[in-house]
Amino acid sequence: MSRTFSKGGIHPNDSKISENAAIEQFPLPETGYVSMAQHLGAPAEPVVSPGDTVKVGQLLGKPSGFISAAVHSPFSGTVKSVEPYADLAGNKVMTVVIEVNGDEWLDTIDRTDTIVREIPYSSSEIVARIAECGIVGLGGATFPTNVKLSPPPGKKAEYLIINGAECEPFLTSDYRLMLEMPEQLLVGTRIMMKALGLEKAYIGIEDNKPAAISKLGEFRDQYRDIEIVPLKKKYPQGGEKQLIKAVTGREVPSMALPIDVGAVVQNVGTAVAVYEAVQKNKPLFEGIVTITGRCLPQQHNFRLRAGTMISSILEAVGGIPDECMKIISGGPMMGKAVSNLSAATLKGTSSLLLMTEKETKRTEESNCIRCGKCVSACPMGLEPYLLNKLGRRGMTDELEQEHVYDCIECGCCSYTCPANIPLLDVIRNSKAAVMKIMRSRPKK
């Protein structure tokens, strides 16, 4: 029987119109734009200079703090410049610009298709290799994976949960990865189990992906220590706290982290990246990116190098259709609108979603009718109508008392509101303001 979380959630049309698009290798661009801020935490510090020759996999930026990650070259060629460059939102971030010449990889990277199943490394060696290869979480947050696999003193991991829910509408990159690289995913899961000292792991997959459940089930006899857990199709099933509740029955308290209830959650893409890092010595410089939208004549799942300009991707799929009014990086629920087509993809880029005016047009806002639908839909048990009211009045003390910081910004409240109130917009801004105040307080 499929499992799920208990509080809230919604059932949007999953719109997986690209699910049958097999992974294709995207051609190399003429110029690569490699951001030093491709992860949560401090940006990497560049270690190359203009005029340097680089190979695929070569270190471009070293971590600059505990929460930071190494950045490696997705391209071979010559470094043209190291300077601030506009990202998806138009913000300037330090970027290594590479004039691409061929596709020469470091000799240390194993590029064969042979599955390497034996894991001869210790826990500390695994974590070190993951850090050296710049692996980050590919479920959206891009948190450095080596940090997540190193629980703080006094905390112990009891559950490793691999997130294969992919509950965001339209996204299918994780689905294709599960179908096309199942054993790499399973070995990557075992590597993280060894890093955490665990004997069992779980892979949660929504039951609207029976082919993925079946494909991984084919390896059941070889990987009896990894349980495939079917999950009910319900958004946001892939949220960390919701996934933990569904798989383990444990609830992560307010302001707590998954490790506080003994859980570590990693995305399926992260598991494959861990496999490639530890078993193949391959840094994270490419990923699977879904290019989708009902206005596109053809859907795609590309294996695509980080640092590829968005405009060149759109040109390769036939250009931007006339009816397209918005491009979103990610899914329609939690993704961000792209304001700069000259920006480049990042390690964590999962999708480019092209939407029409009809799909994106907001209906005029009206007064709250106190129906309570937003409360019923909130997977965190919050009261979005109240947070909206407090947020519009700038009542930060009251917002903190109402746990606005627990909002996971899933958008369920806005989706269900019959008055078309932009609840998420107001709550997201209110949360940022409250978190800023909380961080400014002296630590006890």
Place of tokens 């992260």: 270
* pTM beyond cutoff 0.85: yes
Instruction: Give residue 163's pLDDT.
Output: 98
C-alpha to C-alpha distance for 99 and 314, rounded to whole angstroms? 20
Q: State how far the alpha carbon of 92 is from the alpha carbons of 65, 343, 370, in Å.
A: 20, 10, 42
Residues 6 or more apart in contact with residue 153 via CB below 8 angstroms: none
Q: Beta strands 92-100 and 53-54: pairing type?
A: unpaired
User: What CATH class has 123-280?
Assistant: alpha beta
Of the candidates 348, 321, 22, the one whose C-alpha atom is nearest the C-alpha of residue 179 is: 22
Q: Beta strands 286-292 and 351-356: pairing type?
A: parallel
Whether 70 and 62 have beta carbons less than 8 Å apart is answered as yes
Q: What is the pLDDT of residues 202-259, one digit of tens each?
A: 999 999 999 999 999 999 999 999 999 999 999 999 999 999 999 999 999 999 999 9
The sign of the CA dihedral 29, 32, 37, 39 is positive
Instruction: Give residue 159's pLDDT.
Output: 97
Cβ-based neighbour number of residue 370 at 10 Å: 8
Instruction: Give residue 264's pLDDT.
Output: 98
C-alpha to C-alpha distance for 404 and 383, rounded to whole angstroms? 9
Q: What is the pLDDT of residues 102-141, one digit of tens each?
A: 999 999 999 999 999 999 999 999 999 999 999 999 988 8
User: Would you write out the chain's pLDDT as a tens digit for each of its 444 residues?
Assistant: 799 999 999 999 999 999 999 999 999 999 999 999 999 999 999 999 999 999 999 999 999 999 999 999 999 999 999 999 999 888 999 999 999 999 999 999 999 999 999 999 999 999 999 999 999 999 888 999 999 999 999 999 999 999 999 999 999 999 999 999 999 999 999 999 999 999 999 999 999 999 999 999 999 999 999 999 999 999 999 999 999 999 999 999 999 999 999 999 999 999 999 999 999 999 999 999 999 999 999 999 999 999 999 999 999 999 999 999 999 999 999 999 999 999 999 999 999 999 999 999 889 999 999 999 999 999 999 999 999 999 999 999 999 999 999 999 999 999 999 999 999 999 999 999 999 999 999 876
Instruction: Give residue 442's pLDDT.
Output: 87
Instruction: Give residue 444's pLDDT.
Output: 66
Element spanning 434, H or E: helix 423-440
Whether 231 and 237 have beta carbons less than 8 Å apart is answered as yes
C-alpha to C-alpha distance for 20 and 309, rounded to whole angstroms? 25
Give the residue range(s) of CATH 3.40.50.11540 domains in the chain: 123-280
Q: Is 235 helix (H, G, I), strand (E, B) or coil?
A: strand
Instruction: Give residue 1's pLDDT.
Output: 79
Of the candidates 366, 363, 425, 438, the one whose C-alpha atom is nearest the C-alpha of residue 392 is: 425
